[in-house]
A = this chain, B = another copy of it.
Amino acid sequence: MPVGTQASVKGLTPEQLKRVGVQKVLANTYHLALRPGSELVADMGGLHGFMGWDGPILTDSGGFQVFSLAQLRRMSEDSVVFKSHLDGSLFELSPERAMRIQEQLGADCIMCLDECPPADVPHEKVLAAVDLTTRWARRCRDSHQRSDQALFGIVQGATFPDLRERSARALLELDFPGYAVGGLSVGESPEQMYATLDVTVPFLPADRPRYLMGVGRPEDLLEAVCRGIDLFDCVMPTRNGRNALAFTSQGKVRLRNESLKRDSSPLDPECECPTCQQFSRAYLRHLFAAKEMLGPILVSWHNIAFYQRLLRDLRTAIREDRAAEFRASQLARWGGDS
């Protein structure tokens, strides 16, 4: 899922997203609750109508941003109170309020409110966060009313195998239609992330979607899918695109690089996206050098197409029982650069 933080995948229209194979987008409850407000979005037809996206949408609970972006004011069993990063106003988020906001936003998949401790927090604090997340998950489930939305539980537990198991087992009893793995990509190494997936995903039912939140690099997606993950969201395709960094079948390409100045070849010769079909590396480099908006737009578009194609090819490989070979061949092609 490309990320449309504020109900817009930066620089791209819904049509442009569909054209490169995007199926589902993510929007951020925290940002939208602060601006323009979930009631306004509801009045404007919900997120689908508001942003002109008629495919599936997933919203997060806002918890991650509360714990990373906002200034925390009070944390209790009942709720978390924080100061908006926009205007300093106080805002309270409880499990019940997270449900009401997400019902107003109207996404197809919504997330339980969870407590997300930062990396390198000691075991006893993560244990407390896991148990609070479980109690909040129950309150979310009990207060969620829209039957046309799938509410996912979020497994926490940092990199502690026993806490991941504890979290997963407790959530399974609440019987959610999908499960997310949260609290990764917050500072731990890729190896720690993969090891944590190894001890977490096996507890999650294979007949329900398994979603790794906020991940990640192309190689992370390959590794995570091979460990049983189905669904991802990440700002990397668009954020890197805006910063002139492209993912290609041959590894990363930096479009501010002087060496591309007269490179008339496409950004990625194996890519069928409009950027690669219609423009040269030299032109893309010129757009970034000249600070033209079209540079970030075209490279974001390509990067999203790259991610979509990677996962499409991986799905094919899975059906043909050669996922591990596919992973190995991709990693070898990208080299140490990706």
A contact residues vs B (CB 8 Å cutoff): 6-8, 10-15, 31, 35-36, 40, 43-45, 50-52, 261-262, 264, 274, 278-280, 282-283, 286-287, 289-290, 292-294, 296-298
Contact = CB atoms under 8 A, between A and B. Distances in A.
Contact of A10 (B7, B51, B274, B294): B294
Contacts of A296: 293
Contacts of A7: 283, 286
A282 B10 contact: no
A31 B101 CA distance: 49
Nearest to A297: B11
Contact of A8 (B6, B35, B50, B294): B294
A10 B295 CA distance: 10
Nearest to A31: B290
Nearest to A6: B290
Question: Chain copies in the assembly?
Answer: 2
Contact of A282 (B50, B261, B279, B287): B50
A52 B298 CA distance: 12
Contacts of A45: 264
A261 B40 contact: yes
A292 B6 contact: yes
Nearest to A264: B44
A235 to B, nearest CB: 14
Given A294-B13, A296-B293, A287 B40 contact: no
A296 B13 CA distance: 12
A43 B7 CA distance: 41
